Amino acid sequence: MITTRTQKITILDDITFAIPARSIFTINGPSGSGKSTLLNMLTGIDRPSSGRIIFAGEELRVRSENQLARWRGQHVGIVFQFFQLIPTLTALENVLLALELGKSKLPRRSWRLRSLQCLDLVEMEQYAQRLPSELSGGQQQRVAIARALANDPPVIIADEPTGNLDSQMAHAVFDILTRLTQYDKTIIYVTHDLDLASRATAGLLLRDGRIVQQLHTHLTSGEQR
């Protein structure tokens, strides 16, 4: 429920689900169904008016904005629809900046290597010195994924990350995110593309702020986040 100046609006209602650790989990639904609001709950940007969010076994409690920002920096990497790379920085510098902003505890002399390793995970190491304008949309999104990985968060959250890409590039980016589950990452992927959603480990379908379907294609792990 969101309280505006004039009224209270219920955006999400009766939402209960668990995301299996090390899975790729899709949140699917038409525009306006509440997908972004749900993601904002998971990252503490929005707070539910009732109910709880358990993140990696720990309840997401009310914290100060500062504490929350620090928590987010360590626990979630975010990938945006429009990449949001800094246009004047190279691919490598964009990843390095995430280490700087995330106040990485790694020794500074290892930052460059760490950034190159992240670029390598998304098959972009050979483009490390390119500016975003010198890369295709799919390549820019891979750099954005590398940036999200920089501080080694257990969870990557992507809000329509392939909404701006053609189908072939979208599937390539999806493949890369799927592969990250082998490195113990849990991927939460918002999409309105049913084709991609059908390739996920599990997921749910939202409509008008309610879960209308839960999808578990090949769920085996008993462990849940």
Ligand X SMILES: Nc1ncnc2c1ncn2[C@@H]1O[C@H](COP(=O)(O)OP(=O)(O)O)[C@@H](O)[C@H]1O
* Residue ranges that bind Mg ion, judged by CB under 5 A: 35-36
Give phi and psi for 154, each to the nearest 5: -70, -20
Query: Minimum Å distance from CB 138 to ligand X?
Result: 22
Sole window of 2-10, 76-84, 176-184, 196-204 interacting with ligand X (rule: CB under 6 A): 2-10
Q: Binding of ligand X at residue 182 (CB under 6 A)?
A: no
Binding partner of residue 2 among Mg ion, ligand X, none, CB under 5 to 8 Å per kind? Answer: ligand X
What is the spatial order of strands in the sheet that 155-159 belongs to?
76-79, 155-159, 186-191, 24-28, 202-207, 210-216
Q: What gap in Å lies between CA 14 and CA 216, rounded to an integer?
A: 19
Identify which of residues 31 and 66 has a Cβ nearer to ligand X in the complex. 31
Q: Which tokens go with 23?
A: 């899975």
Check: CB of residue 188 under 8 Å from CB of residue 39: yes
Q: Smallest Cα–Cα separation from 76: which of 87, 52, 64, 60?
A: 60
Query: Minimum Å distance from CB 27 to ligand X?
Result: 8
Residues 16-55 vs ligand X: string with x where CB under 6 A? -------------x-xxxxxxx------------------
Cβ neighbourhood burial of 148 (10 Å; 0-12, 13-18, 19+): buried
Query: Minimum Å distance from CB 13 to Mg ion?
Result: 17
Q: Which residues bind ligand X (CB under 6 A)?
A: 2, 4, 9, 11, 29, 31-37
